[in-house]
Protein backbone atom coordinates (compact mmCIF):
# COMPACT_ATOMS: atom_id res chain seq x y z
CA UNK A 1 0.00 0.00 0.00
CA UNK A 2 1.51 3.33 -1.07
CA UNK A 3 1.77 6.09 1.51
CA UNK A 4 -0.52 9.02 0.88
CA UNK A 5 0.35 12.60 1.65
CA UNK A 6 -2.15 14.50 3.80
CA UNK A 7 -2.71 17.82 2.09
CA UNK A 8 -4.25 20.64 4.11
CA UNK A 9 -5.96 21.94 0.96
CA UNK A 10 -7.53 18.63 0.01
CA UNK A 11 -11.09 19.87 0.58
CA UNK A 12 -10.58 22.68 -1.92
CA UNK A 13 -9.00 20.23 -4.37
CA UNK A 14 -11.98 17.89 -4.00
CA UNK A 15 -14.33 20.77 -4.77
CA UNK A 16 -12.22 21.54 -7.86
CA UNK A 17 -12.66 17.94 -8.99
CA UNK A 18 -16.40 18.54 -8.89
CA UNK A 19 -16.00 21.57 -11.16
CA UNK A 20 -16.55 24.21 -8.46
CA UNK A 21 -15.35 27.50 -10.01
CA UNK A 22 -15.07 29.19 -6.62
CA UNK A 23 -12.74 26.41 -5.45
CA UNK A 24 -10.66 26.83 -8.61
CA UNK A 25 -10.35 30.52 -7.80
CA UNK A 26 -9.28 29.66 -4.24
CA UNK A 27 -6.63 27.25 -5.54
CA UNK A 28 -5.37 29.90 -7.92
CA UNK A 29 -5.05 32.46 -5.11
CA UNK A 30 -3.31 29.93 -2.86
CA UNK A 31 -0.65 28.97 -5.39
CA UNK A 32 -0.40 31.66 -8.09
CA UNK A 33 2.39 33.77 -6.61
CA UNK A 34 4.62 30.79 -5.80
CA UNK A 35 4.04 29.21 -9.22
CA UNK A 36 4.60 32.52 -10.99
CA UNK A 37 8.02 32.75 -9.33
CA UNK A 38 8.81 29.25 -10.59
CA UNK A 39 7.79 30.32 -14.11
CA UNK A 40 9.91 33.47 -13.96
CA UNK A 41 13.00 31.57 -12.88
CA UNK A 42 12.64 29.30 -15.87
CA UNK A 43 11.29 31.46 -18.71
CA UNK A 44 12.86 34.76 -17.57
CA UNK A 45 10.21 36.95 -19.19
CA UNK A 46 7.22 38.52 -17.44
CA UNK A 47 4.57 38.10 -20.13
CA UNK A 48 5.71 34.58 -20.99
CA UNK A 49 5.68 33.61 -17.30
CA UNK A 50 2.12 34.92 -16.98
CA UNK A 51 1.06 32.92 -20.05
CA UNK A 52 2.76 29.76 -18.84
CA UNK A 53 1.16 30.18 -15.42
CA UNK A 54 -2.33 30.46 -16.90
CA UNK A 55 -1.77 27.46 -19.17
CA UNK A 56 -0.45 25.42 -16.24
CA UNK A 57 -3.50 26.19 -14.10
CA UNK A 58 -5.82 25.33 -16.98
CA UNK A 59 -3.99 22.03 -17.42
CA UNK A 60 -4.14 21.33 -13.68
CA UNK A 61 -7.91 21.92 -13.61
CA UNK A 62 -8.33 19.76 -16.72
CA UNK A 63 -6.37 16.85 -15.20
CA UNK A 64 -7.17 17.32 -11.52
CA UNK A 65 -8.88 13.93 -11.50
CA UNK A 66 -5.38 12.43 -11.95
CA UNK A 67 -4.09 13.96 -8.70
CA UNK A 68 -3.60 10.99 -6.34
CA UNK A 69 -2.55 12.81 -3.13
CA UNK A 70 0.77 10.92 -3.04
CA UNK A 71 2.42 14.32 -2.53
CA UNK A 72 1.02 17.74 -1.75
CA UNK A 73 -1.21 19.36 -4.33
CA UNK A 74 1.36 22.18 -4.52
CA UNK A 75 4.09 19.71 -5.50
CA UNK A 76 1.82 18.16 -8.14
CA UNK A 77 0.95 21.61 -9.50
CA UNK A 78 4.62 22.68 -9.45
CA UNK A 79 5.53 19.72 -11.63
CA UNK A 80 2.94 20.85 -14.19
CA UNK A 81 4.24 24.43 -14.02
CA UNK A 82 7.88 23.37 -14.42
CA UNK A 83 7.07 21.12 -17.38
CA UNK A 84 4.99 23.85 -19.04
CA UNK A 85 7.74 26.42 -18.51
CA UNK A 86 10.46 24.16 -19.86
CA UNK A 87 8.35 23.27 -22.89
CA UNK A 88 7.81 26.97 -23.47
CA UNK A 89 11.56 27.65 -23.35
CA UNK A 90 12.26 24.78 -25.72
CA UNK A 91 9.49 25.84 -28.10
CA UNK A 92 10.40 29.50 -28.25
CA UNK A 93 14.18 28.95 -28.12
CA UNK A 94 14.48 31.91 -25.79
CA UNK A 95 17.71 33.81 -25.95
CA UNK A 96 18.91 35.27 -22.72
CA UNK A 97 19.87 38.69 -24.01
CA UNK A 98 16.38 39.40 -25.31
CA UNK A 99 14.90 38.83 -21.89
CA UNK A 100 17.24 40.43 -19.39
CA UNK A 101 15.49 42.60 -16.83
CA UNK A 102 15.49 46.26 -17.84
CA UNK A 103 17.25 47.36 -14.67
CA UNK A 104 18.73 45.54 -11.74
CA UNK A 105 20.36 48.60 -10.19
CA UNK A 106 19.21 49.51 -6.69
CA UNK A 107 17.22 52.72 -6.36
CA UNK A 108 19.63 55.38 -5.11
CA UNK A 109 16.77 57.19 -3.36
CA UNK A 110 15.74 54.08 -1.47
CA UNK A 111 15.62 54.34 2.29
CA UNK A 112 16.15 50.60 2.56
CA UNK A 113 19.46 50.11 4.38
CA UNK A 114 19.73 46.39 3.78
CA UNK A 115 23.02 45.72 2.04
CA UNK A 116 21.71 42.35 0.93
CA UNK A 117 19.27 43.66 -1.66
CA UNK A 118 21.92 44.91 -4.12
CA UNK A 119 23.79 41.61 -3.72
CA UNK A 120 20.66 39.58 -4.41
CA UNK A 121 20.03 41.68 -7.49
CA UNK A 122 23.58 41.07 -8.69
CA UNK A 123 23.18 37.31 -8.27
CA UNK A 124 19.80 37.39 -10.01
CA UNK A 125 21.21 39.40 -12.91
CA UNK A 126 24.16 37.01 -13.21
CA UNK A 127 21.82 34.00 -13.24
CA UNK A 128 19.82 35.66 -16.00
CA UNK A 129 23.06 36.00 -18.02
CA UNK A 130 23.65 32.25 -17.97
CA UNK A 131 22.93 30.33 -21.16
CA UNK A 132 19.42 28.88 -21.10
CA UNK A 133 20.49 25.29 -20.43
CA UNK A 134 22.72 26.31 -17.54
CA UNK A 135 20.02 28.59 -16.10
CA UNK A 136 17.40 25.83 -16.29
CA UNK A 137 19.51 23.22 -14.51
CA UNK A 138 20.75 25.69 -11.89
CA UNK A 139 17.22 26.93 -11.19
CA UNK A 140 15.72 23.46 -11.03
CA UNK A 141 18.46 22.19 -8.71
CA UNK A 142 19.11 25.13 -6.41
CA UNK A 143 15.82 26.98 -6.40
CA UNK A 144 13.23 24.29 -7.05
CA UNK A 145 14.91 21.45 -5.17
CA UNK A 146 14.93 18.79 -7.87
CA UNK A 147 17.73 16.24 -7.87
CA UNK A 148 19.78 15.51 -10.99
CA UNK A 149 17.84 12.35 -11.85
CA UNK A 150 14.57 14.34 -11.79
CA UNK A 151 16.12 17.17 -13.80
CA UNK A 152 17.33 14.64 -16.35
CA UNK A 153 13.80 13.30 -16.73
CA UNK A 154 12.27 16.78 -16.97
CA UNK A 155 14.75 18.00 -19.58
CA UNK A 156 15.17 14.70 -21.42
CA UNK A 157 18.89 14.41 -20.66
CA UNK A 158 20.97 12.01 -18.62
CA UNK A 159 21.65 12.52 -14.94
CA UNK A 160 25.34 12.98 -15.81
CA UNK A 161 24.46 15.74 -18.27
CA UNK A 162 22.41 17.48 -15.59
CA UNK A 163 25.33 17.30 -13.15
CA UNK A 164 27.73 18.56 -15.80
CA UNK A 165 25.46 21.46 -16.76
CA UNK A 166 25.02 22.33 -13.08
CA UNK A 167 28.79 22.41 -12.47
CA UNK A 168 29.35 24.50 -15.58
CA UNK A 169 26.55 26.84 -14.51
CA UNK A 170 28.13 27.29 -11.06
CA UNK A 171 31.53 28.02 -12.59
CA UNK A 172 30.06 30.47 -15.10
CA UNK A 173 28.02 32.14 -12.35
CA UNK A 174 31.14 32.53 -10.18
CA UNK A 175 32.99 34.08 -13.13
CA UNK A 176 30.14 36.49 -13.83
CA UNK A 177 29.93 37.54 -10.19
CA UNK A 178 33.71 37.95 -9.98
CA UNK A 179 33.67 40.05 -13.16
CA UNK A 180 30.89 42.26 -11.78
CA UNK A 181 32.65 42.56 -8.44
CA UNK A 182 35.88 43.70 -10.10
CA UNK A 183 34.15 46.22 -12.33
CA UNK A 184 32.41 48.07 -9.52
Q: Is the pTM of this model over 0.85?
A: no
Q: What is the gyration radius of the CA atoms in the chain, in angstroms?
A: 19
CB of 104 within 8 A of CB of 125? yes
Residue 141 DSSP label: I
Distance CA(40)–CA(47), nearest Å, equals: 9
Question: CA angle 170-173-179, nearest 5°?
Answer: 140
Q: Which CATH number fits domain 96-184: 1.10.10.10, 1.10.510.10, 3.30.1600.10, 1.10.3720.10?
A: 1.10.10.10
Rounded to whole angstroms, how far apart are CA atoms 177 and 61?
41
Please give the DSSP secondary-structure letter assigned to residue 115: T
Element (H, E) at 120: helix 116-129
**Shared fold status for 1-94 and 96-184:** no
Topology of domain 1-94 in CATH is Rna Polymerase Sigma Factor; Chain: A (1.10.1740)
Q: Return the half-sphere exposure (C-beta side, CA atoms, 13 A cut-off) of residue 94.
A: 29
pLDDT by residue for the chain (184 residues), tens only, comes to 555 555 667 889 899 999 999 999 999 999 999 999 999 988 888 999 999 999 999 999 999 999 988 888 998 999 999 999 988 887 765 343 344 344 444 444 444 445 567 777 888 888 888 998 898 898 888 888 888 988 888 888 899 999 999 999 999 999 998 887 754 4
Cβ-proximal residues to 24 (8 Å cutoff; 6+ apart), any chain: 16, 61
Domain boundaries, the chain: 1-94, 96-184
* Cβ neighbours of 84 (radius 10 Å): 25
Amino acid sequence: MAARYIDINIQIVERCRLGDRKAQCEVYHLYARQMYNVCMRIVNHTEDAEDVLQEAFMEAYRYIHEYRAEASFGAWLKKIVVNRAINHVKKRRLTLLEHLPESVEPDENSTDNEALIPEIKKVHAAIMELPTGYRLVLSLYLLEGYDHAEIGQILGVTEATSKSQYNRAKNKLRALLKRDGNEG
